[in-house]
């Protein structure tokens, strides 16, 4: 029994640095993939927001022609990308979706940021349980204001949940398999390498 305990103790001591490395790398891979999911969720909205702003800038379209002042689709019921146009005073002019039966609005801080930087990409939570990958940019021309293009993150969140489960399973399997390998190799060592022979007392 003492020998088995010594084998387990030696195995754990040698395996622990590898276990820490596995945990760190598994977490790092999960975070990198998760960030890739989230950043790629912005791609359609970036193009939509810029295209709408360009159309208004060059006069080929007006805000009223792009979006309706009375949208019929609720933001929570659609996974499609949507557009909302705001005036220079941050007032919604029209939108392809409604929020609680009204035109969507944004915090004033978003518009202040866009004034300084030209664009903002962020995660917007207009109501509990609903997260939106949002992109806001400016337009000018006959009139000026802001364009919001957004899309629900519901599908992305499902993928993130699946990713976390797969990362957890892969990490646990790696930990178990490497421990068993270390344990087997340690078990094969001669018994005297686990315990030092008692020294003879000097006569």
- pLDDT by residue (tens digit) across 29-54? 999 999 999 888 999 999 999 999 99
Give me the numbers of helices (H) and strands (E) for the chain, helices first please.
5, 5
* Ordered DSSP codes for 105-152: ---HHHHHHHHHHSEEEEEEEEETTEEEEEEEEEE-SSS-EEEEEEEE
**48/148 same-domain check:** yes
Q: Is residue 22 part of a domain?
A: yes
**125/162 same-domain check:** no
**9/71 same-domain check:** no
Q: Is residue 199 part of a domain?
A: no
Question: Picking from 24-28, 152-156, 169-173, 191-195, which range would have the lowest pLDDT averaged per residue?
Answer: 191-195
**90/116 same-domain check:** yes
**108/186 same-domain check:** no
**173/101 same-domain check:** no
- pLDDT by residue (tens digit) across 130-179? 999 999 999 987 889 999 999 999 999 999 999 999 999 999 999 999 99
Helix (H) or strand (E) holding 94: strand 92-95
Q: Which residue from 5, 1, 8 is spatially nearest to 180, judged by alpha carbons?
A: 8
What b/e string do you get for 19-50 counting C-beta neighbours within 10 Å, with b at 16 or more?
A: beebeeebeeebeebbeebeeebbebbeebbb
Q: Which residue from 124, 129, 130, 128 is spatially nearest to 109, judged by alpha carbons?
A: 124
Q: What is the CATH number of the domain that holds 83?
A: 3.30.450
**119/25 same-domain check:** no
**53/116 same-domain check:** yes
**122/57 same-domain check:** yes
94 lies in which domain range? Answer: 43-152
Total structural domains within the chain: 2
């Amino acid at each position: 029994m003492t020998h088995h305990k010594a084998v387990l103790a030696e195995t754990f001591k040698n395996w622990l640095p590898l276990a820490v490395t596995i945990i760190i790398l598994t977490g790092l891979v999960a975070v990198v993939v998760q960030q890739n999911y989230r950043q790629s969720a912005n791609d359609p909205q970036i193009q939509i927001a810029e295209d709408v702003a360009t159309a208004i800038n060059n006069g080929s379209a007006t805000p009223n022609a792009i979006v309706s002042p009375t949208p019929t689709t609720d933001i929570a019921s659609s996974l499609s990308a949507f557009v909302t146009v705001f005036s220079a005073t941050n007032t919604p002019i029209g939108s392809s979706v409604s929020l609680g039966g009204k035109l969507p609005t944004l915090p004033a801080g978003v518009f202040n940021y866009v004034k300084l930087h030209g664009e903002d990409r962020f995660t917007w939570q207009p109501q509990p349980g609903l997260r939106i990958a949002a992109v806001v940019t400016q337009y000018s021309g006959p009139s000026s204001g802001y364009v919001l293009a957004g899309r629900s993150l519901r599908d992305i969140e499902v993928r993130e949940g699946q990713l976390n489960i797969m990362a957890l399973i892969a990490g646990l399997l790696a930990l178990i398999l490497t421990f068993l390998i270390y344990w087997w190799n340690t078990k094969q060592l001669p018994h005297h390498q686990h315990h030092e022979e008692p020294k003879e007392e000097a006569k």
